[in-house]
Each structure stands twice: as C-alpha cells, then as structure tokens.
Amino acid sequence: MFVTTSYHPQPEREEIARQLSERLSAPYIPRERKTLKQLFAETGSTQAVVVTRDEIRWEDREGRRFFFHPSMSAVRVKRLRSGGDDPLAASSGMRRGDEVLDCTLGLGADAIVSSFAVGPEGKVVALESQPVIAALVEYGLRTYTTDRADLTEAMRRVKVVCADYRDYLPRLPDNSFDIVMFDPMFGETVRESSAMQALRPLANPEPLDPASVKEAVRVARRAVLLKERRGSGEFARLGFKVAREASTYAFGVIRVEGKDG
C-alpha cells in the first residue's frame, strides 16, 4: 500500500498525506501527473490511500473504495432527536451519561449513535484493529461537518483507538464501562449495503470468541451487546439472549447488573 494525493494538491493536503504515510507505515508517493493505475503498476501495490481536497479514501486496483461518511447514523440520530428509539440504544439500555466501549468501530455509525445517546456527560471509546479503517474513520469523525450541530458534536466526542479488542479488553479494570458492544463483520455482508461491501476487503474477518465475551462481561457494569445477522447461531454459541430483531440483523444482550465487584 502507498499514500498519495489528487492532482495539484494544496500544501495542507500534501502534509496530511505525509502524516498518514507515517501513521500507516506506507510510502508517500507524489502524484505528479500519474494516474492511480500507473502508480499501482510502478509500485506493484494493490491498495492506496488517496488524499483529495474533499475526502481521504482507500482504493484498490479493482476500483473498490472506502471513505468516511456518517451515512445511516444521521438518520438514526434524527429518530432519537425526535423522541423515537434506536435498536442499539434500546437493546443495551443505553442512557445519558453512560460510558460505552465499542469494540468494533467499522464505519463508525454505532459509535456516533452511542455518542449522541450518552450526550456530553458520557463517553464513547471505539476500537478498530485495522489501521487504515481506524485512520480514515478517525479523521472523518474529527473533520466531517453536518448541518446539525448535535450530530457534529457527537462525532467529535468519539475517541478512536487503533487496537484489537482481544488485546485491549484484558488490560482494562473490572467494571470500567457501562456498556461494551460488538458488531463483528458478518460472514455474509448485507447485500444491500454498498458501504459494507466496500469495507469488506479491509475489515477483520475473525469471529468473536468466548474469551473476549468473558472479558467484556468483566469490564461491563450493566450490559454486553452483540449485533449479528438475524437467526445467527452466534448468539447461542456466545451466551447472548436476543433482545431485538430487525429485517436482516438482531441484537443480543448479556445483562451483567448486580454482579459482584
């Protein structure tokens, strides 16, 4: 993989590209007048991060692209704002002032919705094991501006940590977050979701393991949440009780209120 810019980049965009190059341990290649196809051929790389005037995106030789956009989180926040509920917030019992650990950041939608739900008094820490996803989504959360101040503020409050939950959870103290949640990459992505299809080549495909669930139960003060495909055997395998179902996915919960410690 390499990092480059669009044609004729402004100095600040070129500086962002150089910073990303260091963060991702990938070479920075000046774009000059070359096409991406030419750069792929010259470097032998199959992936690139491209900094343009309007966005930062990942792209591969097959033309697949991934970039940050609040997407469905904006619709979900609008519903919460108008007094409706959100399946994630409702299933977990999330409330204002809660501290939430999102173990699988991905596109960032659940982290944004959680940040809005817990408000400025709360906290959302989002883990992402894949460096490119972490870098692009973190940058988007920090810079993307919407026409709704409360949605923009919710994005800004999310703290992104590039880490694998298998390593991160064991280092946390007991009862250090109110809610811990997982949204692992489905074995089959939702076909209608073009964003999920674009993310698939970058995402960590490893299934959630029982040891990590046990650590999450230790870390959570109230609940551990799992989002999976509707009818998935993962809920039973990992000890989750299905709390809510939608057309293509469901939420399972392990309630940990009243545990010792």
Q: pTM above the 0.95 mark?
A: no
Supply the CATH number for residue 34's domain.
3.40.50.10480
Give the domain-ending residue among 66, 101, 119: 66
For 91-147, write each residue's pLDDT tens digit. 999 999 999 999 999 999 999 999 999 999 999 999 999 999 999 999 999 999 999
Positions of E strands within 112-158: 123-127
At 180-225, the pLDDT tens digits run 999 986 544 444 455 555 666 666 778 899 999 999 999 999 999 9
Shared domain check, 86 and 42: no
**Of 113, 126, 218, the residue nearest 176 (C-alpha):** 218
Cβ–Cβ under 8 Å, residues 97 and 116: no
Note whether 19 and 87 are same-domain residues.
no
Inter-residue contact 80 to 116 (CB < 8 Å): yes
Do residues 11 and 130 both lie within one domain?
Answer: no
Clarify whether residues 102 and 214 are in a common domain: yes
Same domain, 190 and 152: yes
> Hey, what amino acid is at 72?
M
Give the end of a domain, one of 49, 66, 83.
Answer: 66
Same domain (yes/no): 143, 61: no
Q: Do 181 and 233 fall within a single domain?
A: yes
Structural domain boundaries, residue 120: 72-255
pLDDT of residue 20: 97
pLDDT for 70 beyond 70: yes
Strand partners, 245: 250
258: left (phi over 0), alpha (psi -120 to 50) or beta: left
Look at residue 260 and tell me if it is in a domain: no
Residue 110 lies in a domain: yes
Count of structural domains within the chain: 2
The owner of tokens 């509920």 is: 85
* 96 lies in the same domain as 56: no
53 and 97 in a single domain? The answer is no
User: Does residue 261 register a pLDDT over 90?
Assistant: no
Phi and psi angles of residue 130, each rounded to the nearest 5 degrees, phi first? -95, 115
Share the mean pLDDT of the chain: 92
108 and 232 share a domain?
A: yes
Q: Which residues contact 254 (CB under 8 A, 6 or more apart)?
A: 213, 216, 217, 223, 224, 239, 240, 241
Last residue of a domain, one of 51, 66, 81: 66
